[in-house]
Structure 1
Amino acid sequence: MRVSHYFEGEGVVTGGFAQSVNNQRAVLDDHGIDYTTEPTLDCDLLHLNNAGPRSIYYAKRARRRRIPVLFHTHNTAADFRDSFVFSNALARPLKPFLAYAYGQADHLVCPSEHNQEVIADYTDTPSTVISNGFDGDRFAGWDDPELRAEYLDRYDLEPPVVFMFGHVIKRKGLDTFVEVARRLPEYDFAWFGYLNPTGGRLDRFLQPRETRELVENSPDNCTFTGYIEDPRGAPAAGDVFFWPSRNENEGMALLEAMHCGKPPVVRAIPTYEWLADGEDCRKVETTDEFVEAITELCEDEAERGRIGANAAATTDRFTLEGVGEQLVGLYDELVSGPTNERTPTG
């Protein structure tokens, strides 16, 4: 089997989106599947990861050649909102565009059941839920005491540290993060990750004024580290994972933090119905509840350990090994089965 595994925007699009593509390619490597990262029709399967004009062009050509097309539904209009300048204005026309793009595929991969439900309102293209998974090897050694001391010292943090990992954008709950930090001056809050949606290329232009002001006017106990080269630094320094995101297709940073045994405090959004409040997370809805849950976990080391251990156990089913078997199984099904039985959108 030869796969054209194309990621339009590669090298520009960063964060969990890009890491999910890396995860897929790690799966292909582990299973010995021949693939190219270029869009081509010299393949048995075209797997697309970002809805752009070039991807749509090759999807149409592949369908005409009876080459099965698989599209990963990383993007939704709701997930696009509150990310960078003009993102809210662009979100409205994005939905019909994505509906058209996903309608060109034979099959879709949705990273969560919630994402699948959202996408069902875009297109009737058949879909399968397969998690983006996480690469645990990236975090091997996160619990090294020297690494913890290094990152605590680098950012002048005093445990217990409340932390976040990911792009600094409003959709991720930036305003809530800052407000909770302001209301809990006795604890240090650290947000590890890019201070802009593109990883530093057009940051001042693309970052909304409100985002810049929230960061600039955050309290003294709130630290924004910017990009860190070693992702292990975040769980090494952090003790309670604060994930106030308002909309996620899955949330890879959450899986990674849980894998490292960090108890997560999450917003109660539909994406996280698979998490059990009080068992492997604290799930809340209001700022007051965030303050209460974080305070309790910071003050109770045993409870942090209990929920953290449960969180780590929960992520066992999201490893690349398990996710990889599902993805490769879908590849086999699409390549060996009939293609082009659907009429693509448009």
Structure 2
Amino acid sequence: MHLSSTAPNPRVLHLTQPVDGGVARVVTDLVAAQLSDGLDVTVACPDSVLTARLRTLGARVRHWHATRSPGTSLIREVRHLARVIDEVRPDLVHAHSAKAGLAGRLAVRGRIPTVFQPHAWSFEAVGGGTAALALMWERWGARWASRTVCVSEAERATGMGARITGRWTVVPNGIDPQRFHPATAGLVRSGLAPLAGLHPAAPLVVCVGRLCRQKGQDVLLRAWDDIVRRVPDARLVLVGDGPDQDRLREGAPESVVFAGAVTDASPWYQVADLVVLPSRWEGMALAPLEAMACGRPVVVTDVDGARESLPPSFSTRCLVPPENPAALAGAVTELLIDPLLRESLGDQGRRHVLSTHDVRHTAEAVSDVYRDLLGPWTAATPSAEHGQRLDTGRGAEPNRTTQRVEPTEYRESIHS
């Protein structure tokens, strides 16, 4: 379906199974921006904290009961999505991450313009026969994606290298610099209960992310003994929960604090002396972007998506090989003992995020993809049922260091 320039703003249906972590934050920010632009937005996802947040923004939410991984419930999940699509009658479907991408494309099968956003490829998250099946599906399912949106050049290159064909657009992830901003660490630290009793001058390393194999907290814990030998007062805070929580807690030293899941990670970035993300794979992680927006230096692993989140000047000090505790310990220690270097890297990182990873420009780039698939539409004020118009800062004078991030499109033939 293509809309004329006089048509009402399109009806967009977002599909997501992850209801926490980075994917949920990307969906939330994108929905907020699209509602502000007057689009008619519905989200289908499992019932969760995310659904309440989306309703607060003014989006319609349809319950979709879906497990995180494919299984025997897939047929039921696809049928449920098909009914939701029939009822919502969207002009465009935007499926986020592997499970929604699988079920959504099976439910639509190309009958409606469909955007698929992997947020890291499914076949990288598993091994053996499961990885082979995931890759076979991604190759097959590509025929039912009008556009595949990747969050990094590396993610696109991985897909193309795996012989997944289609039309590609790269739109880097963005964050809200008004939400993630520098603050006085001492004042913020005093308000965080898990840090009660901690000496105000204790060097603080923070890792924000789901406690799972992908995020590599186990590698960071293996490196931690070497770090505290050189910086005895250092403390490590793991922010988040997940399937590996109990295993990571076993044997963790007293210098490691488990803060649990939080609705707002910004205070943890603001109190950190250093933020670490030791991932095994990524699409483009939000944590380094959020930390840099808060003026904090970061150390990340040299994996797809993570390396692209850094300014080029960070590569020698802030980028380490994945699954290498010794290299990780060396990089973290070097920064903990050099406060002037941390301050310099923090300033550079914030300027980088403001110039290339502002969420407003990410949303604009996604809208450009929609316009390419649907044709132009007339900007309109959101309807009353979507509530008060959201302020994303569009009416304010843009930051002078901010520039628009243009999406990059690649075309490959789609095998029918």
TM-score range, shorter chain: 0.7 to 0.9
Cα deviation for residue 122 of structure 1 reads: 4.6
In structure 2, the partner of 1:215 is: 249
Which runs of 5 or more structure 1 residues have no equivalent in the other structure? 82-86, 197-206
Q: Alignment partner of 1:13: what SS?
A: coil
Amino acid at match of 1:299: I
In structure 2, the partner of 1:332 is: 371
Alpha-carbon distance in 2 for matches of 1:142, 1:88: 46
Alpha-carbon distance in 2 for matches of 1:278, 1:288: 19
In structure 1, the partner of 2:286 is: 252
TM-score between both structures, scaled by the size of structure 2: 0.69
Q: Say whether residues 1:237 and 2:271 are aligned partners.
A: yes
Distance 1:302 1:296, change over 3 A: same
In structure 2, the partner of 1:173 is: 216
- Segment drifting more, 168-177 vs 88-97: 88-97
Alpha-carbon distance in 2 for matches of 1:3, 1:97: 28
User: Which of 123, 133, 137 pairs up with 1:97?
Assistant: 137
Mapping 1:93-242, distance limit 5 Å: 93-120=133-160, 121-139=162-180, 142-143=183-184, 145-151=186-192, 154=195, 156-158=197-199, 159-185=202-228, 186=232, 187-194=234-241, 196=242, 207=243, 212-242=246-276
Cα deviation for residue 27 of structure 1 reads: 2.1
In structure 1, the partner of 2:107 is: 58
Count, aligned residues: 319
Alpha-carbon distance in 1 for matches of 2:330, 2:196: 25
Cα deviation for residue 106 of structure 1 reads: 1.1
Distance 1:262 1:309, change over 3 A: same
For residues 13-51 of structure 1, the C-alpha deviation after alignment (integer angstroms, 9 at most, x for no partner) is 321011111121122123222222255362332222244
Mapping 1:299-314, distance limit 5 Å: 299-314=337-352
In structure 2, the partner of 1:283 is: 319
For residues 104-159 of structure 1, the C-alpha deviation after alignment (integer angstroms, 9 at most, x for no partner) is 11111101111111222252111100022113343357546432222276355443
Q: Are 2:295 and 2:346, in contact at CA under 8 Å, matched by a contact in 1?
A: yes
Alpha-carbon distance in 2 for matches of 1:271, 1:229: 24
RMSD (Å), alpha carbons:
2.8
Q: Are 1:7 and 1:21, in contact at CA under 8 Å, matched by a contact in 2?
A: no
Alpha-carbon distance in 1 for matches of 2:133, 2:195: 43
Q: Which has the higher contact order (CA 8 A, sep 6+)?
A: 2
User: Which of 29, 34, 46 pairs up with 2:35?
Assistant: 29
Alpha-carbon distance in 2 for matches of 1:19, 1:189: 24
User: Which of 96, 101, 104 pairs up with 1:49?
Assistant: 96
Alpha-carbon distance in 2 for matches of 1:289, 1:163: 18
Distance 1:44 1:228, change over 3 A: closer
Cα deviation for residue 328 of structure 1 reads: 1.0
Q: Are 1:4 and 1:40, in contact at CA under 8 Å, matched by a contact in 2?
A: no
Cα deviation for residue 302 of structure 1 reads: 1.0
Amino acid at match of 2:284: E
Alpha-carbon distance in 2 for matches of 1:71, 1:113: 16
Distance 1:153 1:249, change over 3 A: closer
Cα deviation for residue 235 of structure 1 reads: 1.0
Distance 1:102 1:8, change over 3 A: farther
- Segment drifting more, 139-148 vs 252-261: 139-148
Alpha-carbon distance in 2 for matches of 1:106, 1:278: 36
- Segment drifting more, 156-165 vs 49-58: 49-58
TM-score between both structures, scaled by the size of structure 1: 0.82
Cα deviation for residue 57 of structure 1 reads: 3.4
Q: Are 1:263 and 1:280, in contact at CA under 8 Å, matched by a contact in 2?
A: no
For residues 280-302 of structure 1, the C-alpha deviation after alignment (integer angstroms, 9 at most, x for no partner) is 96112243232222122111111
Q: Are 2:300 and 2:307, in contact at CA under 8 Å, matched by a contact in 1?
A: no
% same residue = 23
Alpha-carbon distance in 2 for matches of 1:288, 1:302: 23
Q: Alignment partner of 1:103: what SS?
A: helix
Amino acid at match of 2:11: V
Amino acid at match of 2:361: G
Amino acid at match of 1:150: G
Q: Alignment partner of 2:299: what SS?
A: strand
Q: Alignment partner of 1:37: what SS?
A: strand
- Segment drifting more, 281-290 vs 259-268: 281-290
Cα deviation for residue 214 of structure 1 reads: 3.4
Q: Are 2:206 and 2:239, in contact at CA under 8 Å, matched by a contact in 1?
A: yes
Distance 1:241 1:98, change over 3 A: same
In structure 1, the partner of 2:334 is: 296
